[in-house]
Amino acid sequence: MVGIPNDQLKKLSKDKDNAEDWLKNNITKHMRDGGVKIRYVSVGNEPFLKSYNGSFTKTTFPAMKNVQRAIDKAGFGDKIKVTTALNADVYESSSNKPSDGNFRKDIYDVMKQIVQFLDEKKSPFLVNIYPFLSLYQNEDFPEDYAFFDGHGKTTDDKNEHYTNMFDANLDTLVWSLKKMGHPNVSIVIGEIGWPTDGDKNANAKNAVRFYQGFLKKMKTKKGSPLHPGLINTYLFSLLDENTKSIAPGDFERHWGIFRYDGKPKFHIDFSGQGQDKMPIGAKGVIYQERKWCVLKHNADKDKVEDSVSYACAGGDCTSLGVARSCDKLDKAGNASYAFNQYFQINDQSVEACDFKGLATIVSEDPSEQNCVFPIAIVSSGNILRAMQKVGGILLGFTLIFTTFV
């Protein structure tokens, strides 16, 4: 699946030529080379989120149509389907029962156009469902209902019995499509997962519980009461992302099944058959030097607040705070963590470890218990400098990331 960011929707919606140019640069050459099997193009990413205040309401569907025309013109219409990745908030239920589900009134007209388009083109309705977000956004949400082990509340609706939020949410979409007159549109889960940091409910224990239940459910191929059978699903996410927007919450940078450096976080059973084991980590990862930036022992602790704020603005401090992986750090530890994040994200530059003379570079790992002080991965800039040092010959770099997360 190839995605088109929201900031390109306006351009693609206005001109068919722009869509053809996009297709040529991002799809056609890969298809003709024969090495890539592309099934879908997602035009936009959750473009109708309420927080966007309608910014993409008028451009998403026109962009979808223009991209579809370009695909058909290039002769790939039977191989590549156009859709758009939608958040589950595009539909809602006044009673929280699936049968009362319907598409939001403010986007109903455009959703009707999109759903009709998907039905005509035999394209899937791509929806992102996150039980974690239901728990995060509502303090009264029953925690067990976010999981799949049937320990919590249940919902009964028109002779159907729901033991988890995922099934209820999926069937709310089924009802919404039915009421719109397009009950046969296929559904694909574009994103589902559980974060491991940045919130009291975001931790490895809950992630393990979630994936154990969800993957076991997927193995049964039973689906939900109103959507039985196999459900094509994309897990989110492979790796943590330390520069992702945290507007929705600090947990946004911690969805990965693997850490920033490709190390697995927890045991997981991808087979759904009770075979929990640690995933195989990335190989050939090249780290920068084993050094960290920390608060000086004799630093004036009363003068660090501004520097910590500056470091967190330029780095990633989402692991700091109550009920997070680094919640056991004291004030000095918090400062050191913030300083090191800034230091590492700036490729261990000496200038990035000063903070008005409060910080120093050390070679002893300051990590504590579950609180990991990361080391930057070698970036493309570092590789170039290394190549220059060894006369342009560099061996053994088998896996390269451009950022340290």
Domain contains 112:
yes
Same domain, 181 and 303: no
Same domain, 244 and 183: yes
Is 46 a known active-site residue?
yes
Same domain, 296 and 244: no
Given 253, 279, 301, the domain boundary residue is 253
Same domain, 244 and 333: no
CATH number reported for the structural domain that contains residue 188 in this entry: 3.20.20.80
Domain contains 399:
no
Kindly report, residue by residue over 37-46, the tens digit of the pLDDT. 999 999 999 9
Domain contains 279:
no
Same domain, 245 and 353: no
Per-residue pLDDT tens digits of the chain, which is 405 residues long: 999 999 999 999 999 999 999 999 999 988 877 778 999 999 999 999 999 999 999 999 999 999 999 999 999 999 999 999 999 999 999 999 999 999 999 999 999 999 999 999 999 999 999 999 999 999 999 999 999 998 878 999 999 999 999 999 999 999 999 999 999 999 999 999 999 999 999 999 999 999 999 999 999 999 999 999 999 999 999 999 999 999 999 999 999 999 999 999 999 999 988 888 999 999 999 999 999 999 999 998 889 999 999 999 999 999 999 999 999 999 999 999 999 999 999 999 999 999 999 999 999 999 998 999 999 999 766 655 544 444 443 333 323 333 333
Exposure class string for 349-375: b at 16+ Cβ within 10 A, else e = eeebbbbeebbbbbeeebebeebbbbb
Which listed residue (20, 143, 191, 252) is catalytic? 191
Give the chain's length: 405
Cβ partners under 8 Å of residue 388, min gap 6? none
Domain contains 259:
no
Q: In one letter, which amino acid is 151? A: H
Same domain, 101 and 245: yes
**Separation CA 374–CA 121 (nearest Å):** 47
Shortest CA distance to 147 belongs to which of 232, 236, 61, 212? Answer: 212
Kindly report, residue by residue over 49-69, the tens digit of the pLDDT. 999 999 999 999 999 999 999
Domain contains 6:
no
**Separation CA 334–CA 341 (nearest Å):** 11
Same domain, 244 and 309: no
Same domain, 330 and 228: no
Kindly report, residue by residue over 334-365, the tens digit of the pLDDT. 999 999 999 999 999 999 999 999 999 999 99
Domain contains 5:
no
Same domain, 103 and 243: yes
Domain contains 268:
no
Number of domains in the chain: 2
Same domain, 87 and 231: yes
Same domain, 235 and 331: no
Beta strand 81-87 pairing with 40-45:
parallel
Domain contains 322:
yes
Is 92 a known active-site residue?
no
Same domain, 142 and 213: yes
What is the domain extent for residue 243? 80-253
